[in-house]
A and B are shown apart, each in its own frame.
Chain A
C-alpha cells in the first residue's frame, strides 16, 4: 500500500487548497483528475468520500457485484453447448488448460431452456431467475477473456485489474471517482462466505489509492466490522464520555499545532466511527424486513439463507447510499462431481439473486444499480482423469467465461458475444478483462483514461494501460 501523495505538476496549488480548507495533505487524493479536469468547487475537498458528480452522464450510480469464486462453468449455466454432450467422454486434444495426461470432453449434466421474451438461455437448475419479469432485465455476456489460470491471480485480475494483488480494487476506484453518498456508512462494502476467498483482503484493497477507499468487509458472523462496538461493559454513554475526554485533549493539542492539518481529519474520523456504530448495525439488522421479503430472498431455507441475507443486505446498503457492494460466493471450482457441485451452488444463489433484481426493480433502483454476476474465469470443455477415474468436472479456462448483468444501463434482455461450439474460447465480441473494467467505469460515468492516480512516477488507471468500452453491452 504505497501511497504517494499526488505530486503531479499542479500539486502545490492543490495542496494549498487542501490546506486552506483545514485538511491534511493525506486528503489530497480525492479524484484529482475529476476535480481538476472540471474545476470542481474546492469545498468537496473537505471529505475524500463526499459524493462527486461523475465526469460523463452516468447510467449507473451504484454497483452490486456477485462474485462466484472458483469459476462457474459457462456451459453449465448460461451458455449451453449441445455439441459437448455428443462428445461426452471422447478424447480431447485441446492444448489449453492445465490438465495433463488423457483428456476427454465433458457434456453438461444439465438441461437448458430459452426463457423470457428475449430467449436468454439458462440451465434448468435456475428456478427463480427464469421468472420472465427478471429474465428480460438480464444481459448475458459471453465474450470476456481472463488471463490467469490460477485462482488468486485471476481473482486479483478481475477485482483489481492486475494479477499481482497490490492494486486498487474496482470498488476503490468507484469511490475514488464518485465518493459515497452516505458518510455514516462505508462507501465500498464486501461480504464473503464462511471463508475469505483466495488472496484474502487484497481482493478489496485500496492499493495505492488512499486508505479511505479500501473495501470494508462486513463479516458474515460476529461483529459486522472488526471492533465496531465498544467492549460489552461500556455503554454508549460511556463511549461518548470517552470521546469527550479525548476531544478535550485533542482540542488542547491542536491549538498548539496549526501546521498539522491532519489532526482535524483524525478527530473527524472518531466522530464518523461513533456515527457508524449506530448506522451499521441498523443496516445489517435485516430482521426488520417484512416476512414476505425474507421469504423472497430465501432466508427461510438453509441452502439459500446465507447468500440471501447478503443480497438483502446489499440492497439495504445501496438504498442507504453505499456506492459499491461485492458479495463473494465460493465453491464453484468443480474439477469433479460437476453435477452435484454446480447444482448445489446454483441453488444457493438462484433465488437470492433473482430476489435482488426483482426487489431493486420494484423499488425503482434497478435502473441506476448495476448488478453483475461473474467468476474469475470460465471452465474447460474437457477434463482429465483424477485418481485414475473419469472425473466429470472441468478445469480452469481463461479463454472463455460467462457473465450476467442487469440494470445500470446495460442492454436488457440480450446475449452479447459468443463462445465457440464447445465453449473452449470466446469468438465474438471478444474482450479482455480490462475492457470489461472500462465498460463498468463508463456505466458509472467515469472514464478509465481520465480516472487516474499519480503513483510511483506514473498516472495509473484501473485498466493498467487503457482499454475499450464494450459498446455492445450498453443500452
Chain B
C-alpha cells in the first residue's frame, strides 16, 4: 500500500502545470467533491490542529489516513471501499462508530457514493498546488455537473464563495420563472397548474363540494366566523339559481366585510409576533401596541398594496419624518415637531406601521447595554427576513450559511441597515378612524388602582421614615431624608428599611412596584405609538421608558463590522449597509462597485432596504407572500416551510404555479383581495374534502401534495371562540381600540405571576359582557400570561414567529371545551337563545344544528339528541349549580427576596365591584340546563371544530 503514495504524489505533481482538461478525473473528483466533504464533515474532529484528535485519527492527508487511528488501521484501503472502515462509519453501519455523529451532519447518499468512488478508484490525493489550479479553473465555469455557482458578496473563505448549489435547491433565490403559463383551454389558471400535476400522477380531482360546505369554508376562511342560518338560506337560494354568480358574489361580500381584515390580520400578527407586552423579566405593557394591530386590520380591509404595506412597516418612521421635514424647513422646529408629534393623519399612520419593528420580546434588564442592543438588532433583522423574505437570518450570523448562498457578510450588511434604528414610544396623534371607546372608564380604573397603591406605599414609607427620625433623634442628630442619606457611610445612617419587619419590607417593595406599574399604565391614554427613529446608540436602556432623543448627533454613524462568531467582543472586517446579494437584485442605491449597497447616512437606510424588498423583481418577496396566502386558504402551503425558503426548507410542490401567481400578483398591483378571488374561484379551492379514489391516494400521495382534495383543518383557537360567541348571539362586532379583556379562567386570572422584583397585578376582565365578548383578535395579549383557552387551542407563543399553527388534539382541549366556566356559559347562552327563537324541542334542536353546524339535523340525530336532552332534563331536576363568586380583593403570598420568607398583601380588584357576569347555570331552570348540555355537546363535536 505504502508504495502507492509517492506514485500518487508524483502523478499529481506531473499534472500540476497542465490545463484543466488535462487534470485527471480522479484529481478533479477528489479536489472538487471529496476534499470539501472531508473538510466540512470530518476535519473538525479529525484534523483541527487546535483540538485533540478524536480516536487518534488525523484525516488531513492520505498518509495519515492510511496510518489510521488508535483502534483501526483499515480506515482507508485504497481501491477497496468495502474494506475501508471509513465507509462503515459514514453509512452508520456500526452503532459505535456513526460518523459524523450528528443527525444534522450526516452524509447523504450522493456524498457517500462520492467517497466510495474516490476510494475504489485508488484514493488519489493530489498535492495542494494541483488542487489550487483545479479550483481556479473550476471557478470560471458557472454551471458544472456539480451544480451552479451563485455570485454573492463573498464568504469568509473561498471554498464557501465558490461552492456549488443544486439548481433546484436554490429555487427561491432565482428570478421568477414565467416559462410555464397556464394552459389556454383551462377555465382557470390555478386549476391549469394543479391539473397538470394530477394528470402526470394519473389522479382525478375530487368533485366539487356542496353549497353548504363551500359557504362554511368561505366564511371561516375570509372572516373567521361561521355563516348564520339566514346567510345560509340566502346563499343556497342564490346558488341554486346561478352557482358561479352566487359564489363570486359571496366572495366579494365577505372581502368587503370588516371581519375580513380582522381574520386575516391574525395571520399577519402571528408572523409579526404581536403582543401587548414586551415579555422577559418585566413584561412591561407596550402602551398602545393596539394601534399597530388596528393598522394591520385597516390595511387589509383597504386592500393596501403589499409593496406599500412592506414600505410602511419597515420604514414608516423615515417616510413620516421625510414628509414632516418637507414642510418644516427649520431644523429646530422640525425636532420639536417630532418630539411633540405634530404629524398629519397620514404621517401618524406611517409611524404606527413602523410598530412592526417593535413586535419582538425585548427587555434590557440585567443585560449589558451593548448586548441588549445586539439582541434587538439580531431579533429585528431575523423578523424582517422571515416575515418578508422567508429567510431565517439567524442561520448566517456566526458563519457563512451552511446551506444557502447567504454569507455572514450579508448578515452584517443587513444588520448595518438597522444599526441606526433606535426604539422609542413616539408621539403621534390619534387618527380619526382609531377607536377610543373605553378611554374614560379605563383611566378611572387605573387611577383607582394607582391611588390604592400610593396610599399603601406612603403608609409604609412614612413608618420607615418615622423610625429613621427616631434613630437620628436617639443620636441627637438632625434627620436626613432617604434620598440625601443614600450615599452616606453605613455608620452615619439608620439601617435599610429601618422600622419595618420583613413583612412590611416585602409589602413596601410590592407597593412601590405597583405605583409605577399603574403610573405607567396611564400612558395608554396618551397619543403614543410604539415606533423607532434613527439616531445614535445610547449609553443605557430601560424598556420601562423608551423616548426619542432628538438632541443626538445627526451625523453619527455606527462602525459596522462582521462580528466573528456572532460575538460583539470580536469585531471583524468592516461592512457598509447592504441587501442580500444572492438574489442578484441591485439595491435602489447601487453603485458600480457595489450593486447591493444601501445609504451610509444615519437616515434613510431602512427606506432603501424596504424599497429593495418591495421591488417588483424581488422574487423572494413575491413568492413568500403568495405562498402564505395560499397556505391560509388551504391550510397547506405550496412551499412547505413558509418562514424558510432556503436549501433545507421544503421544496414547492407546484413551483410553476407559485411563480406564476407571484408574478401575476406583482403585475396586478400587489393586491390581496384580487389574489383571494383568484384562488377561491378555482375548482381546486372549491373541491370536496372527500375523494372517490381515496384509498389509492392514501398510498400515492399521503400528504395530499397534489391538492387532489380539499385539506381538512381544525379551526384555530380564535375561530372556535369567536364562532361560539356568534352562535350564541353574544358576539360584539365592535372594531378596534384598546385591548379587550375577555373573561378567562379565573384561577389563571388571579394566579400570581413573577415579574422582576414583584408580582404582576391580577388580570381583571372588562366589567360588561359587551366589552368582554369582542373578537379574539382584540383580546389583551400578555406574553407572560397567555389566555388559557386560546393557548390550549394552539394560539402561538408570541415570542416566536408562527407561520403554521399547530392543531394537535390533546386532552387539555377536552377539559376546556367540556368543563370550563367559559364554555359552560356559552352553552347556557346558546340554550337561552334557542328557547327564545324556537318554541318546541324539535325546533330548538333544528335551530341549534343550523346555527352551530350550518345544516339541518338528520332524523336519527335529532331523535338521539332529543332523548339525550330529556335524560338530562331528568338529571337536572336534582342538580344544584351554584353561582360563581367574583372576589373584589385577593390576598397574595410572595416570598420576600431578602428574607426568603413568605409574606402576604392584599390586592384590590375593583372591576368585580360592578361586574355583570354572563348568565350562569344557577340562574336558569333545569330544562334550560338540559338544553345547554346538548349545546355543549355541539361545541365539542368534531364537525363543529373542523373545517371541510
Contact = CB atoms under 8 A, between A and B. Distances in A.
A128 interface: no
A359 interface: no
B644 A333 contact: no
A337 B881 CA distance: 50
Contacts of A316: none
Interface stretch (B96-104, B523-531, B585-593, B664-672): B96-104
A225 interface: yes
A245 B690 contact: no
B897 A334 contact: yes
Interface in A386-418: 386-391, 393, 396
Interface in B395-429: 395
B788 A458 contact: no
B506 to A, nearest CB: 11
A166 B797 contact: yes
Given A2-B796, A259-B694, A449-B101, A457 B747 contact: no
Contacts of A241: 868, 871-872, 875
A387 B488 CA distance: 9
Interface string A220-260: 00110111111111110111011001101110111011111
B816 A456 contact: no
B385 interface: no
Contacts of A198: 281, 754-756
B709 A259 contact: yes
Given A230-B819, A234-B879, A266 B901 contact: no
Given A16-B699, A19-B698, A149-B366, A1 B807 contact: no
A233 to B, nearest CB: 4
B690 A256 contact: yes
B799 interface: yes
B861 A252 contact: yes
B881 A231 contact: yes
Nearest to B489: A388
B103 A452 contact: yes
A166 B800 contact: yes
A330 B937 CA distance: 41
Contacts of B280: 150, 152-153, 199
Contacts of B833: none
A330 to B, nearest CB: 6
B407 to A, nearest CB: 18
B392 to A, nearest CB: 6
A16 B702 contact: yes
Nearest to A248: B864
B643 A2 contact: yes
Contacts of A216: 812
Nearest to B806: A3
B285 to A, nearest CB: 16
B9 to A, nearest CB: 36
Contact of A344 (B487, B689, B808, B900): B900
B820 interface: yes
Interface in A449-468: 449-450, 452, 456-459, 461, 466
Contact of A211 (B786, B808, B937): B808
Nearest to B871: A241
A16 B785 CA distance: 38
Interface in B784-829: 784-786, 788, 791, 794, 796-797, 799-804, 806-816, 818-821, 824
A195 B753 contact: yes
A150 B365 contact: yes
A226 B816 contact: yes
Contacts of B811: 269-270, 272-273, 276
A11 B502 CA distance: 60
B35 to A, nearest CB: 23
A4 B900 contact: no
Contacts of A11: 703
Interface stretch (B19-27, B146-154, B888-896): B888-896
A396 B800 CA distance: 27
Given A26-B807, A269-B814, A458 B756 contact: no
B79 interface: no
Interface in B279-338: 279-281
Contacts of A196: 751-754
B486 A387 contact: yes
B752 A212 contact: no
Contact of A225 (B366, B755, B815, B895): B815
A209 to B, nearest CB: 10
A296 to B, nearest CB: 23
The size bracket of the interface on A is: 35 or more
The size bracket of the interface on B is: 35 or more
A242 B487 CA distance: 69
A308 interface: no
A340 B103 contact: no
Contacts of A166: 797, 799-800
Given A164-B800, A165-B279, A334-B897, A456 B712 contact: no
A228 B641 contact: no
Nearest to A3: B806
A70 interface: yes
B640 interface: yes
Contact of B896 (A210, A331, A386): A331
Given A98-B366, A194-B894, A250 B487 contact: no
Interface in B854-870: 858, 861, 864-865, 868
B875 A238 contact: yes
Nearest to A336: B898
A198 B646 CA distance: 35
Contacts of A270: 811, 814, 818, 940
B648 interface: yes
Contacts of A237: 875
A258 B938 CA distance: 21
A331 B900 contact: yes
A246 B806 contact: no
A210 B805 CA distance: 11
B14 interface: no
B941 A250 contact: yes
Contacts of B392: 456-457
Contacts of A341: 896-900
A263 interface: yes
A267 interface: yes
Contacts of B102: 449, 461, 466
A205 B797 contact: yes
A258 B367 CA distance: 54
A242 B818 contact: yes
A234 B894 CA distance: 35
A165 B375 CA distance: 13
19 contacts: A1-B794, A2-B796, A2-B801, A2-B802, A3-B808, A7-B641, A15-B702, A231-B821, A233-B879, A238-B872, A245-B865, A252-B861, A260-B689, A270-B811, A389-B490, A449-B102, A456-B644, A457-B392, A461-B103
The 6 closest A-B pairs by CB, nearest first: A344-B900, A331-B895, A341-B900, A166-B800, A273-B814, A195-B752
Interface of A: 1-4, 7, 11-12, 15-16, 19-20, 24-27, 33, 70, 98, 148-153, 164-166, 193-202, 205, 210-212, 214, 216, 219, 222-223, 225-235, 237-239, 241-242, 245-246, 248-250, 252-254, 256-260, 262-263, 265-270, 272-273, 276, 330-337, 340-345, 348, 386-391, 393, 396, 449-450, 452, 456-459, 461, 466
Given A150-B365, A273-B814, A343-B900, 13 more contacts: A2-B801, A3-B806, A26-B806, A165-B361, A196-B752, A227-B816, A245-B865, A248-B861, A259-B690, A276-B811, A340-B502, A388-B486, A458-B104
Interface of B: 101-104, 279-281, 361, 365-368, 392, 395, 482, 485-488, 490, 493, 495-496, 502, 640-641, 643-644, 646, 648-650, 689-691, 694, 698-699, 702-703, 709, 712, 714, 745, 747-748, 751-756, 759, 784-786, 788, 791, 794, 796-797, 799-804, 806-816, 818-821, 824, 858, 861, 864-865, 868, 871-872, 875-876, 879-882, 893-902, 921, 929, 933-934, 936-938, 940-943, 945-946, 948
